[in-house]
Amino acid sequence: MSSRTPASRSVSVCPPGAQSSSQPPRRAHSPSERRILMDTYESVLDQILSVPDAPSGLARDIHWLNESQALAVARDQAGRLEVFLPGERLEPRTATVREALQHHDWHRDSGPLLSANRILLPALGHFDQVGSFICTELLRNGAEDDMVQAFSLTEPIIELAIRRLQISEGAMLGLAGELLILNSLVHEADDPQVGTVLQSWAGWHRSQRDFAWNRVGVEVKTTKRVSSSHMVQGVHQVDAIADTDDGPGEGRLLLVSIGLANAAASSNTFSIPMLVDRILDRLSSTGNTALADSLLQHLAAYGSESGFGYDHQTMSRDAPFTDSYATTFCRGYDMSDPAIEVLRHDTVAAHHHVDAQSLRFTINLPAIISGQNPVNGANQIARNILD
C-alpha cells in the first residue's frame, strides 16, 4: 500500500465547538457555513473522482483527503471506493454498518503499519458522490480530532449509503441471472419465435413473473451462496397462478435458481454487457433489430425504483458491470412437485387474518428433488420452458 497527500490545500473543515454530550444536537448552518461545506464537498468529490483503480487485488494507492491524514480513500481492482478511517477499531451501533466495516493493519511501502477501519462502497458512479458526502460529514464532525465521535455522528448516513449499496448490488445480480436465461431462450428458440420470446421477459418492471411464455411462469432467483437458498416475497412466487374468471392462469411454474461467483474472465464466464451483446446479435440475425431499442430501454428501467439502471450504450465499459461471473449452478425447479415442501397459498389462506402477499420467507431447495426435477443448465431450462 502506498499513500499520497493532497497536492492542494487541506479539505478539512473546522470541527464543532466544545460538546457536553456524546450525541449533541445538530444546529442549522448559516448561508456562509453552507457555502463552506459545499466547497468542501466539491473538493472532496474532485479528489475521489481522480482516484485510480488498484493495479492488483492486494495493492492500494490510498489518497489522503487532508494534510493531517485523518481520512483516506482508495479504489480496489473493480473500481469500488474504499474509505479508510485511521485509528482504533470502531464499534458501530447498527448491524448494517458493523458488517461492512473492517479493521485491519495495512502494510505500507515505507513507514509504520496503517491501523485503520475500512468501509467499502460499490463501483456504481453515483456512489462516488455518496462517498464524498460521507467523508465531508466525517470531517465536519471532527474526524481530525476525534474519529470515534465523528464516526458516531456520521453512522446514520453511512448506514443509509450501505443499504442502498445492498439494494443496487442485489439488483445487478438479479439482472445477470435474468439475462442469462433470456440469452438461452432467444438462442434455443426457432428463428420466427425470437421476437415473441424476447417480449416474454417481464422482470424489468414490477410484474407477477420474470418470464411468462404461453402458460409457463418463470421466476428467477440469483444468489452468490453455494446452495439454492432464496428470499421469497410472497407465496405467489412459489405457487402457479390459478385460473380465474378473467382468464387462464399458469399451467406450471418453474423457479430457476442460479448461483453466480465472481471470476477472472475466461471462455466459461460472462458479464452483463456480454450477455446483452449476444442477445442483440441474435435479434439482428433473426430480423428483429426493431426490438433492440425496446430491450435497451427495459435494461435501463431494471431496478429503477431502487436507483439502479443499466444503460448499455454508456455503461458497458464501466465497473462493476464489466465484472465476470462463473455459473456455479443453474437449476429449474418444477414447483408443482409435491416433494417440494414450501409454504403454499392454500396453506396460508386457511389463516384468514394473514395477508398471504405480505409474507417474506427463505426457501432452501435441495440440489435433487427427483430424477427429472430440477432441470440443470441454462440451455436445458430454456428448452424446457419453450417446449
Q: What is the pLDDT of residues 119-161, one digit of tens each?
A: 988 656 567 888 899 999 999 999 999 999 999 999 999 988 8
Tell me what pLDDT residue 279 has.
98
pLDDT digits (tens, 9 = 90+) for 166-201: 667 788 899 999 999 999 999 999 999 999 999 999
Query: Quick check: 142 and 15 in contact, CB under 8 A?
Result: yes
Query: Quick check: 303 and 171 in contact, CB under 8 A?
Result: yes
pLDDT digits (tens, 9 = 90+) for 281-333: 999 999 999 999 999 999 988 977 666 678 898 888 876 788 899 999 999 99
Tell me: pLDDT of 2 over 70: no
Per-residue pLDDT, averaged over 72-97, amounts to 89
- DSSP character string of 268-292: T-B-HHHHHHHHHHHHHHTT-GGGH
Cα-Cα-Cα-Cα torsion 307, 308, 312, 318, nearest 10 degrees, comes to 100
Let me know the angle formed at the C-alpha of 258 by 374 and 306, rounded to the nearest 5 degrees: 135
Annotated domain spans of the chain: 2-15+26-145, 171-386
Tell me what pLDDT residue 27 has.
44
Q: Rounded to two decimals, what is the model's pTM?
A: 0.69
